Structure 1
């Protein structure tokens, strides 16, 4: 029998050193990561090596750029592979992507999700251990236009970038509401400005059918009941699935990592397209889907006896300790001549009164350790993580196993988030939790 263990985590935004501190529970967390056969994190920082230039509005303020030495810190924590597809991957443009690729290759750290062209970004990376092998595919649904990698043509090379999972949103409106939107379209003059497009195309691109309208960059669809939904881009879904099928043939376990900030009806709920994506890649052969992006925990689902973690929050968060800020970002906070990184992040967060600092859930997360016997999931142990909510900016953001009281609160929250998916979490007395399941659970969508 082949037994393999996999430790998972969310976003790793490391910009300084000593990620494992002397705090109680920190060394124990490192032991959890190091004793697993495979330990995954999402590397959401650009380890700048000299190439690249800051991208305008890379992430609405606050580029995540650090010294290349942070990679050694991440490996020192116990992580053995990283996903790189996320909305900060191109904070230094394509030059920064190529720098990251070269650095990780030089250090022989398995990574997926970015590359010199679309095929390189889509490909799985294979990680081999004495007990077995694992394939990792990394993609992102959150990115700016042009950050996605592109394929070469017969005439031009491909574009470096990330592995994209594009999606579309549709607002369902009643027929009467659609009529109102059409009135707005006509009476404001928007329709008249599409005259050239209608002449060239032979139809109005904003009204492809009587029951659909695209207005203000949003798609509207006539329906009996108003609502909002998102769906995956079919081409991206098919292309990522193709690589999942390839990975299934070549490794004992297959992980698909997906970075997605987009919410569903609530911030704790994933967008509808994400569940569609997770089910499809499991149908094609993935053993684990691990999500991250919104910087808080979301629920967990078992689908066909395969785990889907819709978001594992953060494992390291040192955004406010980043030491390289672009001129454009400085202007957003009115720093004037007092342009230093500390002042910038202080103004950006209103000195701890907004963004992430005042929200406890941002500073709490989980590290699940999954056990597989001959490719079948047999156990999931949940390790609650404390990132130091309320501590000074230079101390918080580095992880340790949570103490008993905090651990129970984190696990209770996770159990609540998992319940709508039919997943039961048992909260133990030792500061860890376990996923309760049987061989019939999750066989249908």
Structure 2
């Protein structure tokens, strides 16, 4: 069969997009949520508050960009929300093992071609806390075994808890992720690393992953020229520049962002505007979390936006909407990206399935808080503008 050009995917930024940056970081060379409800603060304000699993053969480190592809197959990418392994989760993992939280989602995650989760915790044995925080999350390195065994491939460290135990704890986190065989994005040894994508070839296509945080307790967490830290999204320019740059030699650019007002089930207008700007800069999908509850879905220029996919693994104090969770599927076809969502629930330190009544209720609820979409079972469909 003759080669087929991609009809969908990362496009060159238009004339209104931010200018591209030129820094590239070699892949794999990096050694590099609280439950209080308050709006995203200015970074100057204090906010309120490994067994060896078999790697997925379909994903590999790229050797060259791909702009033409033969025999296109769908690519299934899973996104999961905020995960931490402290408090009661730590106790459960210590007693029952690192695989315990993921027993019920492992099969679904492993089926995907690639899986991504937000790591909402420091992974360290350090004890010096950042006193800007009301809650400091610390997880044992062994916890990462569970994520890896469950089928996850990459985590975001762009959030408001990855540096809870200061720079030393953050560096430990990056080292522990390397040791666990988990890729990470959204932070690094310096600003260049923090804003650089991780690239993966999946079924012959180059997919790039970026992550940013719009909720950070102090500017001390911002990655600097020679300072470890996270990729902050208060300033849009480095975010849009990074997307435009990474788009140049990618088939798809996927963006995760930590943002929003905690416990609100709808995004702010500035978030909807920001999502559009990121797509205009070249992003092919936007996935958010941070607010500890699910928010709705939207399509812009036929590209999917999931404003918040909620908590994924949190201690047993979460209940109700804070315990509603699920797995977001972004399925890449040659001419479109489909979006679907499989509901789960956080219960007794596990992610568990619920009955059909719960699932159907979630679909109706998610449709009610989304924008111009209908839920066809798990599938998120754009509404027909003629109707």
- Where on the TM-score scale, by shorter chain, does this alignment land: which range? 0.7 to 0.9
Q: In the alignment, is the contact (CA less than 8 A) between 1:121 and 1:149 conserved in 2? A: no
**Among 262, 274, 279, which residue is 2:276 paired with?**
279
Paired position in structure 1 for 2:340: 381
- The aligned runs of 1:161-310 (5 Å cut-off) are 161-166=229-234, 236-262=235-261, 267-310=264-307
Aligned partners of 1:115 and 1:149 also within 8 Å: no
Instruction: Specify the SS of the correspondent of 1:406.
Output: helix
Q: Which has the larger radius of gyration?
A: 1
Give CA deviations for 1:130-184 in whole Å, capped at 9, x if unaligned. 44332111111111123432433xxxxx222111111xxxxxxxxxxxxxxxxxx
d(CA) in 1 for partners of 2:349 and 2:212?
25
Unaligned 5+ segments in structure 1 are: 153-157, 167-235, 321-355, 389-395, 428-432
Unaligned 5+ segments in structure 2 are 1-71
Higher helix proportion: 1
Counterpart check, 1:144 vs 2:104: no
Residue in 2 that maps onto 1:104: 177
Partner of 2:43: none
**What is residue 94 of structure 1 aligned with on the other side?**
167
What residue in structure 2 maps to residue 132 of structure 1? 205
- The superposition leaves residues 235-255 of structure 1 with CA deviations (integer Å, 9 ceiling, x where unpaired) of x21211111122222333211
- What is the aligned partner in structure 2 of residue 199 from structure 1? none
- Counterpart of 1:13 in structure 2 is 84
Is the aligned partner of 1:314 residue 2:311?
yes
State whether structure 2 residue 369 is matched by structure 1 residue 417. Answer: yes
Q: 1:347 aligns to what?
A: none
Match of 2:36 in 1: none
The 8 Å contact of residues 315 and 398 in structure 1, kept in 2 or not, is answered as no
In the alignment, the residues of structure 2 paired with residue 48 and residue 13 of structure 1 have an alpha-carbon distance, to the nearest angstrom, of: 12
Q: Does 1:76 align with 2:76?
A: no
Structure-2 separation of matches of 1:41 and 1:132 = 21
Task: Report how many aligned residue pairs link the two structures.
Answer: 306
Q: CA deviation at 1:307?
A: 0.8
Q: Highest relative contact order (Cα 8 Å, sep 6+), 1 or 2?
A: 2
Distance verdict in 2 for CA 1:161–1:47, change over 3 Å: same
Shift of 1:374: 2.1
CA RMSD of aligned residues (A): 2.2
The separation in 1 between residues aligned to 2:141 and 2:362, in whole angstroms, is: 32
d(CA) in 2 for partners of 1:397, 1:139: 27
Tell me what 1:231 maps to: none
Residue aligning to 2:23: none
1:400 maps to which residue?
352
- Go from structure 1 to structure 2 and tell me whether the alpha carbon gap of 1:69 and 1:5 turns closer, same or farther (over 3 Å shift): same
Aligned twin of 2:376: 426
Q: CA deviation at 1:14?
A: 2.5
- 1:384 CA drift (Å): 0.6
Distance 2:167 2:292 in 1: 25
Paired residues of 1:41 and 1:79 also in contact (CA < 8 A): yes
Asked whether the 8 Å contact 1:81–1:110 carries over to 2, the reply is: yes
**Aligned to 2:329, which of 366, 369, 385?**
369
Match in the other structure for 1:116: 189
- Corresponding residue of 1:217: none
Say whether the 8 Å CA contact 1:253–1:375 is kept in structure 2.
no
Distance 1:139 1:406 in 2: 32
Distance of 2:75 and 2:223 partners within structure 1: 35
Shift of 1:415: 1.3
CA deviation map 1:78-98 (0-9, x unaligned): 111111111101101111111
TM-score (normalizing by structure 1): 0.64
Deviations 1:53-93 (A, max 9, x none): 211032x2x31101111111111121111111111011011
* Aligned mates of 1:362, 1:305 — CA distance in 2: 29
Q: Secondary structure at the match of 2:163?
A: coil
Which runs of 4 or more aligned residues in structure 1 lie more than 3 Å from their structure 2 counterparts after TM superposition? 18-22
